[in-house]
Amino acid sequence: QVQLVESGGGLVQAGGSLRLSCAASGSIFSIDAMAWYRQTPGKQRDLVAAITSGGSINYADSVRDRFTISRDNAKNTVYLQMNSLKPEDTAVYYCVCTARARTSIRHADYWGQGTQVTVSS
């Protein structure tokens, strides 16, 4: 139906930058909201940033003014530009979209497999 693939994670020094990408593919009728979450071992998966089809954006307080979420609707892709990275940003980052598959009349959430981001001090 709908598949999401994240890329761009890796190891970076504190203060550095990374750009994550997440491309949606498959039998897509439409995509509404797209978002990034992150999770560390033993902890809940938390929202990092979200963007709706209309362009409304929300950020977690911990990343506001450092991270920027954007999307390219023509490519069904969402990006997360991460600047001034801190060790506390280390986590597995997951993208998610609320989408309608061509085979369905309802919207559902679809998750990517996650990409590791490690920030060293």
Q: Residue 1 — pLDDT band, cuts 50, 70, 90?
A: confident
Each residue of 30-46: pLDDT tens digit? 999 999 999 999 899 99
CA dist 74 and 83 (Å) reads 25
Would you say residue 97 has pLDDT above 90? Answer: yes
Neighbours of 12 (CB within 10 A): 17
